[in-house]
A and B are shown apart, each in its own frame.
Chain A
């Protein structure tokens, strides 16, 4: 391998020797980032595991105040958005600009629907006085403290997830704009690929949040 200074392109930046090397590096980097996200959300999953183990009855009661149908439908919405996302990536692999744009738009719309429903649910919780620290009261138990713990976890975990969804929608908008401008091709579509990985990851988090928050002890209702 001889001298280094080649003309820098998007697909082969100056620190890399080949496009393949850059793509490999980007992919590994993205997966390591997702690894950090596993540990980031993981702290809250740990808290949830401990408190549910210690207060199983109250957690079941609190969970049943959530609307499982809305939760299930919202889960389906997010799964649909993952479907449209992977079709966007596939379109990018095939170099089909319009296909990519269509499916990115659908993904964003579905993401916004999810967020809208989430906002509606949160508002419901607010109406029912199930928001910790704001005149909290949940009927059916004298253990108001642990009930607040459930809802603290509910808001913290769905809140962090929603924040990631918002960032994800922003990311998709950026990719949409770039696609419109013709930045990507079948030879270079790595950012779309990486965006897809992020989006799917946020979906996987919700795949776990749904049963853990909404489906505790439903057989008792």
Chain B
């Protein structure tokens, strides 16, 4: 798929935002947000990932299959993490010794 050729300006803007977000996440880490510190950190990281993926990796021009591949990968990783945590966090819930 020969996608449209983006301008240097577009790339430069994305690059600038990425650098700003890096500074932001470093600064925000010093603020006590309690449980939301993690949310903020991961949220900013996700935005950075989307910028790199959409603009630098040209996913915004990709066909549906490519988008499905990326989404599927992230979903599958999520599956691994969530179902494992479902074990780790529920140990001892049902009151049986060792379970």
Contact = CB atoms under 8 A, between A and B. Distances in A.
Interface of A: 23-24, 27-28, 31-32, 34-35, 38-39, 42-43, 45-46, 49-50, 53-54, 68-69, 72, 75-76, 79-80, 82-83, 85-87, 90, 93-94, 196-197, 200-201, 203-204, 207-208, 210-212, 215, 217-221
Given A76-B19, A211-B45, A215-B26, A28 B80 contact: no
Interface in B58-79: 62, 65-66, 69-70, 72-74, 76-77
Contacts of B29: 68, 211, 215, 218-219
B74 A24 contact: no
Max chain B CB contacts within 10 Å: which of A23, A43, A72? A72
Contacts of A93: 2, 5
Interface size class of B (residues with CB under 8 A): 35 or more
Contacts, number: 128
Interface in B32-56: 32-33, 37, 41-42, 44-45, 48-49, 52-53, 55-56
Nearest to A203: B52
9 contacts: A72-B26, A83-B12, A90-B11, A197-B57, A200-B56, A207-B45, A217-B37, A218-B30, A219-B29
A212 B14 CA distance: 23
B73 A53 contact: no
A200 B85 contact: no
A96 B2 CA distance: 16
Contacts of B56: 82-83, 85-86, 196, 200
Nearest to B84: A46
Contact of B89 (A45, A53, A80, A85): A53
B81 A49 contact: yes
B88 A54 contact: yes
A100 to B, nearest CB: 14
Nearest to A68: B26
A111 to B, nearest CB: 15
Contacts of B80: 39, 42-43, 46
A219 B38 CA distance: 12
Given A42-B76, A93-B5, A219-B31, 5 more contacts: A38-B74, A39-B80, A43-B80, A49-B81, A210-B45
Contacts of A218: 29-30
Nearest to A35: B73
Contacts of B44: 211
A200 B52 contact: yes
A53 B74 contact: no
Contacts of B26: 68-69, 72, 215
